[in-house]
Structure 1
Amino acid sequence: MAPSTASRVLGRTPRPLPSSVAASLADAFLASEIWAKDQLVEAGAYVMGARRRWLSPLVGDVLASFARPPVDAPRLLTSVILRSPDFAEAVRKADERRSPLRIHHRVVGPSASQQPSGALPRIDSIPDLAALLDLDVGRLQWFADTKHWNRRARSGALHHYRYEWRTRHGRIPRLLEIPEQRMRRVQRSLLERVLGLMAVNDAVHGFMPGRSAATGAARHTGADIVISLDLTTFFSRVTGGRIYGTLRQSGMSEPIAHVVTGLCTNAVPPRVLAAMPPGGSSDERFALRRALATSHLPQGAPSSPMLANLAIRRLDSRLTGWADAVDATYTRYADDLAFSGGPRLAKRPDAFIRGVQRIIEDEGHVANPHKTRVRRQGVRQSVTGIVVNQRTNVSRDDYDRLKATIHNCVVHGPGTQNHRRLDDFRAHLLGRISWVESLNPQRGEKLGAEFLRIRW
């Protein structure tokens, strides 16, 4: 009897890895209409081409681990199969016989996310995600780059990011990872349609609608003591693994969370790391290179700030609890942490700060010791550059600089003051005046009146 086309294809198919066999079995189990032993054994026999003796105890292990089909976690099911002693023994015996386990039939397993909370859309499949982002599946997979081909490929037009090192005097340099225009559009769509709908801790005031540095600073006015800390290499320390875990906790299925993580994280190519300019200690430089070389949130992507807020919700919750224990207030604006309180906090600030640092390190971050500040009443207390002694206010230095710039525009013309060659210097000045007015209406009104005297 002549071999069928399928048989000829199987004859040319390379030996599948145990992980591939386990994944195929997982898909078949999930596709079974009934989650029961006999039906799962039959599903496994279809994949393997025969009813293998080890399938029955393997299915027993699966049913002991999952009372119902884990349709949102096919990768977890695959790992359970791989760790099963019966499956491992079957692989070992097959290797000894030099007759490896082969996949005779593949089944497309179902995938479904858990019911999300609030206004979050439910995304059950990769095609669903692609449609939500106005992409086809192939283009979605290309943007996600879950295999990190971009990191290994030569520099070219098809790369998703361009890189700019920024030197900082006496400090470790900063790397901007700027998504190219198409990638930026995808990330912004994901932010608007999915990520921006997720809930964050109430202590967060950065990159949130209706919140700002001003709303965060307002929480600390009139306090006996204000403590400020800063997180180092904030975005690069939020790993792809942490993002994936955050998305899974939100109800996304494993395949969806895996692709979304790929869309929003990046691993920097070696050629870029090799070009790191001078700055910082050897330990700081090593830590930064190691963080950038692995999957992390890129500083420069529109989705990164919101994902960082989501990924460190546990840190925010723990710091909120630590502050509550001494009747203090905690807020965070990006990597700037602020605490304020009354006599209980003012009595032992050093011990309180040590506790904050332990929590930060336990959550995988590092506080910059050079930026920790303790300010009591009687000195200028500020949070994210905003004075908070009695009420929110712009600092005297910032006000005087802006006042001088506007005055020089009146006397010498605005062209003499646009040192950064901004395209719309007028809008830039108006924005700075509005910022002052939001903190101190009287000062803002004075600056606005002077601004009207400028000849454009």
Structure 2
Amino acid sequence: MPPSPGLPRGTKIDESTTPREAERASRALPPAPADESFGGRSQHDANADIEHEPPGATLAEVARALADAFHAAPEWSAPSLLAAGSSVVGSRRAFVRVAVGGILESLSRPLPDSPRLLARLIADLPGFAASFRRGTRRTPVRIRSRAIAPTRAVGPGPRVDTVVDLARLLGVTVGRLEWFADTQGWNRLAEEGPLHHYRYEWRVRPGRVPRLLEVPLDRLRTMQRIILDELLTPMPLHDAAHGFVAGRSAITGAAEHTGRDVVIGLDLVSFFASVTAKQIYGLFRRAGLPETVAHLLTGVCTHSVPPRVLRAMPAGGSASARFALRQALSMPHLPQGAPSSPALANLSLQRLDSRLAGWADAFGATYTRYADDLAFSGDASLASMVREFVRGATAIVVDSGHTINAPKTRIRRAGTRQTVTGIVVNATTAPGRREYDRLRAVVHNCVTHGPEGQNRDGHPAFRQQLLGRIAWVSQLHPERGARLRREFELIRW
């Protein structure tokens, strides 16, 4: 008999026994004798608990099939769930009764749109695994059908009820969507090549741990941009967030802290890398997206850095800080460089923002956040209890799964130069003197010596970059901005 189509060339098939004959033979085997030393169970049974792997569906597959069936059942009752479970794995299966009894005892009502969670609960029920092994030792389970429980997205943004809806929104097939999501993390271990969807660039920072830019390639970046525009932008943010938010900026955040007795600045460590896939999945679920959709969205928006990239980390920073960064980057996290990461980071920090805003309010203080830069300000009551305030704020941050960069903590009282995100806030918002003087010197040298030798950072669009910096100064100090703009017009490009 020729080999079956699709098998590798040279594959041999054992034709001595047909599948039906093998099944009849297994049913004809006599039961093994009981061994009283194992409490009435035979040595064969004890070993089978560990080694037996049924040729049919696995325990995890059966648990998922039962979860889907229970979700699609017309009623959350024992008769309805028993009928639903029996329809997918067959009647007279004792483990179905175990699953129904255990789930009804644990859950008084169905979990809304959570088949994966329900499957894990079924698989972990006391007695389910043992009942499954006993019931499948001689008669393997065949999943006869798969029940489909309808899901429905709620909340702002377009309706994305199914994986097919998500693939259509992102402009890819379901297969390519699963490849880009890579929820099992296979691509991380693949050799460098077309399977990878990111390019990497280490940025050296003198005396500090280097920063890794994880830049998605074109197709993935387009998908992440669609997710940002269609799903993330409509989601509400905390009022304290001013970074990467339409209508807000570093200037609007700094303006909240002008003319205060004390300004406190705290800095988060590894802002993007410390936001985990678990947090992002929870965010999508709380936003009302179905479980399977949230699972794939999390895969598309998070990333695990390959070991070869981590091994190439340049020198810089303490050993403990380098180890912590490598650990964070090796796990699924928000990649710094993806268009969806800033919005997701803001959304994932909403609870932290709420807690810090509440802590500040207890001291009569104001709180804002621009990316990883936390700013607090207040009057005499806060100024008299700065140590207690910083200690409490740090504890809240740590409890939320983040870390404060202690060396960058800043406490500036009235009479000293108070800044928030590089903007002076003593009386009104103004550009920092050092930053302004540096920009004025660059513009003057461009006029005197030509712009070619002044682009020391190698910026590809140096003219536009200078204009952007001048526009930023103009927003804070229109008179200074106008002077810079007049001198800029004298440059010969």
Measured against the shorter chain, the TM-score band is over 0.9
**How many Å apart are 1:264 and its aligned residue?**
0.5
What's the offset of the Cα at 1:64? 4.1
Change (3 A) 1:59 1:221: same
Q: Which amino acid aligns with 1:103?
A: R
Instruction: Give the Cα–Cα distance (whole angstroms) in 2 for the partners of residues 404 and 157 of structure 1.
Output: 45
In the TM superposition, what is the alpha-carbon distance from 1:93 to its structure 2 partner?
Answer: 2.6
Residues of 1 paired with 2:317 and 2:492: CA distance? 45
Please, which of 85, 105, 112 is the counterpart of residue 151 of structure 2?
Answer: 112
1:233-284 CA-to-partner distances (Å, cap 9, x unmatched) read 1111111111111111111221111111000001111111122222222211
Contact 1:42 1:51 (8 Å CA) reproduced:
no
Percent of aligned pairs sharing the same letter: 54
1:307 aligned partner, one-letter code:
L
Aligned equivalent of 1:61: 102
**In structure 1, how many angstroms separate the alpha carbons of the residues matched to 2:62 and 2:446?**
72
**What secondary structure is seen at the aligned counterpart in 2 of 1:197?**
coil
User: Is the counterpart of residue 388 in structure 1 residue 429 in structure 2?
Assistant: no
Q: How many residues align?
A: 446
Matched, 1:317 2:358: no
State how far apart, in whole Å, the 1-side matches of 2:106 and 2:154 are.
22
Distance 1:111 1:269, change over 3 A: farther
Q: Deviations over 1:291-329 (max 9, x none)?
A: 111111111111111111111111111110110000000
Q: Is the contact between residue 393 and residue 440 of structure 1 (CA under 8 Å) also seen in structure 2? A: yes
Q: 1:367 is matched with which residue: 401, 404, 411?
A: 404
Aligned-residue offset at 1:403: 1.2
What residue is the counterpart of 2:466 in the other structure?
429
Residue pair 2:202, 2:211 contacting (<8 A) in 1 also = yes
Distance in structure 1 (CA, Å) of the matches to 2:450 and 2:189: 51
2:335 aligns to what? Answer: 298
2:248 is aligned to 211
Distance of 1:186 and 1:67 partners within structure 2: 39
Sort the Cα spacing of 1:163 and 1:424 in 2 relative to 1 into closer, same or farther, 3 A: closer
Distance (Å, rounded) in 2 between the aligned partners of 1:346 and 1:41: 65
Question: Among residues 199, 209, 212, which one is paired with 2:236 in the alignment?
Answer: 199
Who is 2:13 aligned against?
Answer: none
Q: State the alpha-carbon separation in 1 of the partners of residues 234 and 92 from structure 2.
A: 47
Pair 1:274 & 2:315 matched? no
Query: Which residue, 69, 80, 93 being the options, matches 1:28?
Result: 69
Letter in 2 for 1:105: R
For 2:281 and 2:396, locate their aligned partners in 1 and report how far apart those are by CA, in whole Å.
Answer: 22
Give the counterpart letter for 2:149 in structure 1: P
Give the match's secondary structure for 2:202.
strand
1:22-421 → structure 2 map (5 Å cutoff): 22-94=63-135, 98-99=137-138, 101-116=140-155, 119-421=156-458
The CA deviation at 1:409 is 1.7
Unaligned 5+ runs, structure 1: none
RMSD: 2.1
CA separation in 2, counterparts of 1:280 and 1:422?
A: 26
Aligned partners of 2:232 and 2:126: how far apart in 1? 40
Larger Rg: 2
Q: Secondary structure at the match of 1:85?
A: coil
- Find the aligned partners of 1:274 and 1:153 in 2 and give their Cα distance: 15
Q: Does the CA-based 8 Å contact 2:69-2:149 persist in structure 1?
A: no
The alpha-carbon deviation at position 122 of structure 1 amounts to 2.9
Unaligned 5+ runs, structure 2: 1-17, 25-53
Higher mean C-alpha displacement, 16-25 vs 336-345: 16-25
Displacement of 1:103:
2.8
What amino acid is aligned across from residue 331 of structure 1 in structure 2? T
- Distance across 1 between alignment mates of 2:119 and 2:483: 67
Instruction: Determine the C-alpha separation between the residues in 1 that align with 2:180 and 2:271.
Output: 24
Q: Return the offset for 1:67.
A: 4.6
* Structure 2 Cα separation of the partners of residues 278 and 106 of structure 1: 56
Q: After superposing the two structures, state which structure 1 stretch, 84-93 or 406-415, moved more.
A: 84-93
Which whole-Å CA distance do the structure 2 matches of 1:273 and 1:427 have between them? 34
Cα offset for 1:136? 1.5
The TM-score normalised by the length of structure 2 is 0.86
Aligned equivalents of 1:338, 1:176: Cα separation in 2? 25
For residue 422 of structure 1, report the CA deviation from its aligned partner: 3.0
Aligned partner letter, 1:247: F
Taking the TM superposition and a 5 Å limit, the aligned residue runs for 1:4-19 are 14-19=55-60
The answer to whether the 8 A contact 1:179-1:300 is kept is yes
Between 86-95 and 407-416, the greater mean CA deviation after superposition: 86-95
Cα offset, 1:66, TM superposition: 4.2
Give 1:297's aligned amino acid.
Answer: L
Q: Name the stretch that deviates more: 32-41 or 356-365.
A: 32-41
Amino acid aligned to 1:93: R
Moved more, 411-420 or 219-228: 411-420
